[in-house]
Copies of this chain bind each other. A is one copy, B any other.
Amino acid sequence: MKASEANRLRAQFEEYARRHGLKSTQQRDAIVDQFLQSTGHISIDDLLTKVRKRNPKVGYATVYRTLKLLTECGIAAPRQFGDGQTRFEVMGGHGHHDHLICVQCGLILEFENDAIEQLQDEMASRLGGFKLVRHKLELYGLCPKAAGVKGGYCPNESK
């Protein structure tokens, strides 16, 4: 299931590479593989760390460059939460999801809501006929840790 999705995306990347005359390299392939195996939102640092476990001689620059390629061909999507770092997530054509972030503990939940997506498309048309390529919806709130939400502990208390 998940593996086939990764394969689909890998094929998509190869297609893109072919079309653009890109060569296949050990580093790039390793980065793409690791990225496709990641879940949620991964930072450049985390990704590089993972990649280096298999291929120790990979540099930052290559990760940035590869992620830029992945973003261009629609496989990766950059996200900016509030922590200064850009994170990337796999953008399976399906399974798109949005985020609910707890402003207190930083917990990030993911969700999908077709009704909202549909309203977005309508909105875009109404605004002059824009053609949406992607979107980003982030809800910020307080997790009801009092209610015992799973994983809803708060490492950092706001002062």
Contact = CB atoms under 8 A, between A and B. Distances in A.
B103 A113 contact: no
Contacts of A109: 127-128, 130
Interface string A128-148: 111111111111111110010
22 contacts: A78-B82, A80-B80, A100-B123, A100-B124, A100-B130, A109-B127, A109-B130, A113-B119, A116-B120, A119-B119, A128-B152, A130-B139, A130-B144, A132-B139, A132-B141, A135-B137, A135-B138, A135-B140, A136-B136, A136-B137, A136-B140, A137-B137
Interface in A52-104: 78, 80, 82, 100, 102-103
Contacts of A144: 128-131
B133 A103 contact: yes
Given A113-B119, A127-B100, A141 B137 contact: no
A22 interface: no
A149 interface: yes
Contacts of A113: 119, 123
